[in-house]
Amino acid sequence: MTYKILIADKLGNAGLERLSQMSDVAYDLRTGLSKEALLEAIADYDAVIVRSDTFIDADVIAAGKRLKVIGRAGIGVDNIDVPAATAHGVMVMNTPHSNSVATAEQTFTLLLATSRRTVPAHNSLAAGQWERSRFVGTELYGKTLGIIGFGYIGRLVARRAQAFGMNVVAYDPYVPTETAIELEVELLPLDELLAASDLITLHAIVTPETKGIINAATIAQMKDGVIIVNVARGKLIDEQALAEALQSGKVAAAGLDVYQEEPPAGSPLIGLPNVIHTPHLGASTQEAQKNVGIEIVEQIAEALRGVAYRNVLNPLGG
């Protein structure tokens, strides 16, 4: 029996090589398919692998007559209609840990770069200036870091923050107090975290509870001059409210890797002098891409063979 896998978004070579070594699997790498082309193609495959570019919606799932598994090479499944997959008995799986270190390190890139004003200082020097007194920054040492969303990545960020001598507090109603105590992190209600934090970093998924969690009302509860970093999902932030707070100086700076719309055409945040933005690069390290590629193809092959079902996000019952 040969299982057929469609790879609809770019996948690291290591993952493709691993697939080539599997005698019971054949794959096609077909990136950039239009919705029509995807609807036609999907009928031939037992599994499809995506990153974040291809949308696997209810129509695509319904057209996948032999589809058994949808694999997300990465964490967020915003581009997959998970309830529709569940309704059709199709597994959805991701690779929740393989790119977490990359994301935690990108968080620190932005925490440090916003605190030390690295990008404006670079631009000034590149433009021929030598403005040492203009770019006096602030230290992470001794500051309070508020982590919203204290899952795997939030905890990696906490550990790194502690190494910098930061005091770490977190908001996550789903994490037991004992876990936080073990990690020497104080769990706080959201309003207390907002009031206590010098820097705030987001590591939550988007749910009805977290969508727009950074908005005019929550920003008003923060310290003046707070720094906000988002390497999770753009929809956690009301962009207009954040842009106004950055313009007024209520928020001193923001480090943003993700946006409501990607690419962020028309976002009021793009180009503000106190914003450092990167184009959704949290997971974009060679190591992370190698790891997610290998992990997703192995998980899918195991599931198709009925050997193991790792990191399945939807309960299929029966």
Our answer to whether residue 131 is catalytic in this structure is: no
Angle at 48 between CA 234 and CA 291, to 5 degrees: 65
Question: Closest separation between CB of residue 10 and ligand MLT, Å?
Answer: 10
Q: At closest approach, how far in Å is the CB of 225 from ligand MLT?
A: 28
SS3 25: strand
Contact 50/56 with Cβ under 8 angstroms?
A: yes
Query: Is 287 an annotated catalytic residue?
Result: no
Does residue 203 have an active-site annotation? no
Catalytic residue among 233, 239, 277, 295: 233
Do 88 and 68 touch, CB atoms closer than 8 A? no
Candidate list 15, 74, 264, 293; residue touching ligand MLT; CB under 6 A: 74
In angstroms, the CA 84 to CA 7 distance is 20
Looking at 227, 283, 294, 301, which residue binds ligand MLT (CB under 6 A)?
283
Neighbouring-strand partners of residue 80 = 56
| Token pair belonging to 55 | 């949308």
111/258 with CB nearer ligand MLT = 258
Site membership for ligand MLT, residue 245 (CB under 6 A): no
Q: What 8-state DSSP symbol labels residue 214?
A: B
**Residue 99 makes contact with ligand MLT by CB under 6 A:** yes
For 108, left (φ over 0), alpha (ψ -120 to 50), or beta?
alpha
Q: Are 57 and 34 in contact (CB under 8 A)?
A: no
Query: Which position among 282, 293, 299, 314 is part of the footprint of ligand MLT (CB under 6 A)?
Result: 282
Q: Is 291 in the site for ligand MLT (CB under 6 A)?
A: no
Size of the site for ligand MLT (CB under 6 A): 8
Q: Which is nearer to ligand MLT, 9 or 238 (CB)?
A: 9
Tokens of 102: 């990359």
For residues 81 and 198, which CB has a smaller minimum distance to ligand MLT in the complex?
81
Annotate each residue in 34-63 with x if it binds ligand MLT (CB under 6 A) or - if it does not, as one string: -----------------xx-----------
Active site residues: 233, 262, 280
| Contacts with ligand MLT, residue ranges (CB under 6 A) | 51-52, 74-76, 99, 282-283
